[in-house]
Amino acid sequence: MPAKARTTARATASNATAQSREDILNARAISTLGAGVVNAMSAVGAAVIKKHKPALGKSPDWFWHVFAKCEAKAARVAEQAARDPEACGDATFIEVYAAQLPKLMASALESHDKALKAK
């Protein structure tokens, strides 16, 4: 197999893997976001992290894994909302993202705490 074909096959395989994962944001979607949206996402993410600092201290690896999943899901929900014909694009994206990320993270932490108590 020629080198170019191997490289293309590897890139396609890793791209398919990346698209099927829940804990990463879609690269195409990220590239379409404006700088203001990215800044707003960063601010919301920082606030969520600050709010749940004790959970971060207890289990950092788990926390970052769950945070990434919640962040990606919030972005997907916000992207869908922003595509609505009556939506205001970036403003709708930011509004929905800012509403979803804290809820998703709180829900994940609550479920984790319940599971630990059940043991």
Query: What whole-number distance in Å separates Cα of residue 119 and Cα of residue 117?
Result: 5
- Residue identified by tokens 């972005």 is 75
Residue 35 lies in a domain: yes
Give residue 67's domain range. Answer: 7-118
The reply to whether 13 falls in a domain is yes
Residue 27: inside a domain: yes
Give CA separation, 50 vs 31, 44, 57, 80, in Å: 27, 10, 11, 27
Each of the 119 residues of the chain gets a pLDDT tens digit; together they read 455 444 444 444 444 444 455 556 666 666 667 788 888 899 999 999 999 999 999 999 999 999 999 999 999 899 899 888 888 888 899 999 999 999 999 999 999 889 888 87
Q: How many domains does the chain have?
A: 1
Does 1 reside within a domain? Answer: no
Taking the whole predicted model, whether its pTM rises above 0.75 is answered as no
